[in-house]
């Protein structure tokens, strides 16, 4: 290094996807010139080409540098962008938002955010949530419905928690399904390769022979969209070849509970005796050849020595003296899976049956098993049920929350600032899309689908939405039917984009605000994934370089708008650093 130059390094992490790889940035003469992996960090040692190129985001000539205001109508090919001051922009936007709130009610505002998988939204997400909750609108828009809903919710419906961290360092087998961590989540790819070197087996489900899939011991090249049939074929092999963990299924799953064949509902104690509880279930004791009550509140059988049947069909005497035909839930699963036996389902999945059998045997013989799966499953209409089939498959092998399985590791605690307490329950119930999808993405904050918001803008259904704020969300391009999206943006009374570049969405907004890239802003996170040691990590990431031109962090913009809307007290009087303490 020439002695005339000054250089220093700044430790941080890359925010361009959910992996949050640890980084060391080199700053020479005030300019960030290099980003490389920080090896002395629980999430360190790994870095992808996108992270490496991140300094280009800071200096790209097309970056937005100043607040802009549209001066010509939205239909006009020339928006007539006029450079304005931050004060003017924030004042105008707050005025317009106040107008919307007072005229149409707070629910007439929607806020769209970028995806955590491809933007640095996680740096600001919690503040966006606090802002919209405080504003009083439930309509927070994301791409969750085509991204992670199936994974997070499919596992939650099955296990009670989202897919826990794969403890790859202690696994003897790994099942990778519809995900290529070599292209994203490089930390996981790195750890899989390291485990493979010590002998861990890999089964990959991927139509393409890429990344980890190209190194798999068994690669199942599934026909896209038929993954559910494949999961059931694997389940069938585990059951018919008796490869599943019988003790785990008996002890930890609802497999032994009896289900009525006359009406398809679970058999409950009150079916057997008028004084019985409708909350207690029934299993069949193979030893006593009699039904036994199971109490989910205690997790115990009324007869501790009972051996619950998993297969077979039974007739249980009802309180009326009749007989109720029943089968254990596990037997129902076996029946369903038998319809998708590897041989007949070849025509659905296009995976040779011998490979399916080989994969199931390999997984069962090399426990503990951990798994990871993602978008390959997600971007289909049957994604959540497919995910549940994969979760059931995983449950059959009994390594849930065991060393070397998928483990619920503790996470570094952080105060929750999402502001859920600000949004009245009645308002949350009105989240757009919830009326038609009560169990789907809109059931959770932050998960409205953009196409539903467009219906609200264009057709006032289920009620009118008048304003849309876009934080790092190129909503026009990240949803199907972009022409309809454009029509909706033109029709919206008021729209703002907070962006790095002039995107097709920003072009249709009334104001465009220049955001900082993650290298130009500070943040605090405990959101490190994929490794046991990183789950407990909490890190303050300073700005590597000061923001260029008049760019401002999304967080700063949220706090400033909050101040102007009268929410100062709930936003630390606009002091972002104070909010981190």
Interaction site with ligand SF4 (CB under 6 A): 14, 16-17, 19-21, 47-48, 50-51, 184, 186
The alpha helices in 339-466, defined as continuous H runs, are 342-349, 353-365, 375-378, 383-396, 425-428, 450-459
Helix residue ranges per DSSP H, 207-266: 227-240, 246-252
Shortest Cβ 18–ligand SF4 spacing (Å) = 7
Q: In this complex, which beta carbon is closest to ligand SF4, that of residue 182 or of residue 366?
A: 182
- Give the C-alpha distances (Å, rounded to integers) separating 180 from 176, 192, 211, 541: 8, 11, 6, 28
Whose Cβ is closer to ligand SF4: residue 19's or residue 234's? 19
Least distance from ligand SF4 to the Cβ atom of residue 577, Å: 24
21 or 324, CB closer to ligand SF4? 21
Q: How far is the CB of 380 from ligand SF4 (least distance, A)?
A: 24
Instruction: State the minimum distance, in angstroms, from the CB of residue 102 to ligand SF4.
Output: 42
End-to-end CA distance of the chain: 38
Nearer to ligand SF4, 192 or 272 (CB): 192
Nearest residue (CB) to ligand SF4, 21 versus 267: 21
Kindly give, in sequence order, each residue whose CB lies less than 8 Å from that of residue 416, ignoring residues fewer than 6 positions away. Answer: none
Greatest Cα pair distance in the chain: 96
Nearer to ligand SF4, 16 or 64 (CB): 16
By beta-carbon proximity to ligand SF4, the closer residue of 44 and 433 is: 44
Nearer to ligand SF4, 55 or 67 (CB): 55
Our CB check for ligand SF4 shows the closer of 48 and 173 to be 48
Rounded CA gap, 416 and 132, in Å? 15
Rounded to a whole number of angstroms, the minimum distance from the CB of residue 382 to ligand SF4 is 28
CB 176 within 8 A of CB 212: yes
Q: How far is the CB of 356 from ligand SF4 (least distance, A)?
A: 32
Distance CA 307, CA 315 (A): 17
CB-closest chain residue to ligand SF4: 51
- Long-range CB pairs of 263-271 (<8 Å, 24+ gap) are 266/329, 267/291, 267/316, 267/324, 267/326, 269/293, 270/319, 271/316, 271/318, 271/319, 271/324
The DSSP letter of residue 164 is: P
> What is d(CA 493, CA 16) in angstroms, rounded to the nearest whole number?
32
Bridge partners, 1 (sequence order): none
Identify the CA nearest to 417 among candidates 523, 516, 522, 515.
Answer: 523
CB of 525 to ligand SF4, least distance (A): 12
152 vs 527, beta carbon nearer ligand SF4 = 527
Closest distance of CB 212 from ligand SF4, Å: 14
**What's 547's DSSP letter?**
P
Q: How far is the C-alpha of 457 from the C-alpha of 455, rounded, in Å?
A: 5
Give the nearest distance from C-beta 157 to ligand SF4 in angstroms: 28
CB burial of 436-462 (b: ≥16 within 10 Å; e: otherwise) equals: ebeebbbebbbbbbbbbbbbbbbeeeb
Q: How many CB atoms within 10 Å of residue 164?
A: 17
- For residue 218, which of 352, 112, 105, 341 has the smallest C-alpha distance? 352
* Paired residues of 68 in beta bridges: 83, 512
| Euclidean distance between CA atoms 435 and 383, whole angstroms | 21
The least CB distance from residue 500 to ligand SF4, in Å, is 15
The residue assigned the tokens 């700005």 is: 543
What is the crossing angle of helices 554-564 and 125-135, to 10°?
A: 20
Strands 290-295 and 140-141: unpaired
- Report the alpha-carbon distance of residue 555 to residue 444 in Å, rounded: 22
Query: Please, which residue, 50 or 223, has the CB nearer to ligand SF4?
Result: 50
DSSP 221-236: -PPTT-HHHHHHHHHH
- Residue with smaller CB distance to ligand SF4, 19 or 496: 19
Measured from the CB of residue 473, what is the shortest distance to ligand SF4 in angstroms? 18
406: its two tokens: 């998928």
Q: What minimum distance in Å lies between the beta carbon of 186 and ligand SF4? A: 4
Decide whether 20 or 564 has the Cβ nearer to ligand SF4.
20
Q: How far is the CB of 411 from ligand SF4 (least distance, A)?
A: 18
CA gap 82, 514 in Å, rounded: 13
């Amino acid at each position: 290094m020439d002695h005339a130059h000054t250089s220093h390094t700044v430790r941080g992490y890359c925010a361009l996807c959910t992996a949050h790889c640890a980084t060391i940035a080199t700053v020479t003469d005030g300019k960030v010139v290099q980003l490389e992996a920080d090896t002395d960090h629980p999430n360190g040692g790994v870095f992808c080409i996108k992270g490496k190129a991140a300094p280009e985001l800071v200096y790209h000539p097309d970056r937005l540098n100043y607040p802009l205001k549209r001066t010509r109508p939205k239909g006009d090919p020339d928006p007539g962008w006029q450079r304005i001051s931050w004060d003017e922009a924030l004042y105008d936007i707050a005025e317009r938002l106040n107008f919307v709130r007072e005229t149409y009610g707070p629910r007439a505002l929607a806020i769209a955010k970028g995806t955590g998988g491809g933007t640095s939204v996680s740096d600001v997400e919690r503040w966006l949530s606090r802002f919209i909750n405080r504003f009083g609108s439930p309509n927070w828009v994301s791409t969750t419905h085509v991204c992670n809903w199936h994974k997070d919710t499919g596992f939650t419906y099955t296990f009670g928690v989202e897919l826990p961290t794969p403890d790859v360092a202690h696994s003897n087998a790994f099942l990778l399904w519809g995900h290529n961590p070599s292209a994203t989540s490089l930390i996981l790819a790195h750890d899989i390769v390291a485990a493979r070197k010590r002998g861990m087996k890999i089964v990959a489900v991927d139509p393409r022979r890429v990344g980890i899939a190209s190194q798999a011991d068994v690669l199942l090249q599934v026909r896209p969209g038929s993954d559910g049939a494949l999961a059931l074929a694997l389940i069938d092999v585990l059951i018919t070849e008796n490869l599943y963990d019988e003790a785990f299924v008996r002890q930890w799953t609802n497999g032994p509970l009896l289900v009525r064949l006359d009406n398809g509902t679970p058999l409950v104690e009150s079916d057997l005796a008028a004084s019985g509880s409708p909350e207690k279930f029934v299993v069949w004791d193979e030893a006593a050849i009699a039904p036994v009550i199971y109490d989910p509140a205690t997790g115990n059988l009324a007869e501790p020595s009972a051996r619950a049947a998993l297969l077979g069909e039974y007739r249980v005497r009802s309180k009326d003296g009749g007989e109720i035909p029943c089968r254990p839930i596990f037997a129902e699963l076996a029946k369903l899976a038998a319809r998708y036996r590897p041989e007949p389902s070849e025509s659905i999945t296009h995976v040779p049956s011998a490979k399916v059998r080989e994969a199931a045997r390999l997984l069962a013989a090399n426990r503990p098993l951990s798994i990871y799966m993602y978008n390959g499953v997600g971007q289909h209409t049957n994604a959540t049920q497919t995910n549940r089939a994969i979760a059931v498959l995983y449950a059959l092998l009994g390594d849930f929350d065991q060393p070397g399985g998928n483990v619920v590791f503790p996470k570094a605690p952080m105060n929750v600032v999402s502001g859920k307490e600000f949004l009245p329950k009645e308002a949350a119930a009105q989240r757009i899309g919830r009326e038609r999808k009560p169990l789907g993405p809109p059931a959770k904050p932050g998960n409205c689908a953009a196409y539903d918001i467009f219906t609200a803008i264009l057709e006032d259904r289920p009620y009118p939405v008048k304003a849309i704020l876009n934080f790092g969300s190129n909503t026009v391009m990240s949803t199907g039917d972009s022409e309809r999206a454009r029509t909706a943006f033109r029709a919206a009374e008021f729209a703002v984009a907070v962006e790095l570049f002039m995107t097709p969405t920003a072009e249709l907004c009334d104001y465009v605000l220049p955001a900082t890239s993650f290298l130009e802003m500070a943040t605090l996170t405990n959101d490190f994934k994929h490794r046991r040691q990183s789950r407990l990590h909490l890190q303050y990431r300073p700005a590597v370089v000061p923001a260029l031109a008049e760019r401002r962090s999304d967080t700063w913009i949220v706090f400033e708008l909050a101040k102007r809307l009268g929410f100062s007290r709930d936003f630390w009087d606009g002091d972002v650093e104070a909010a981190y303490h």
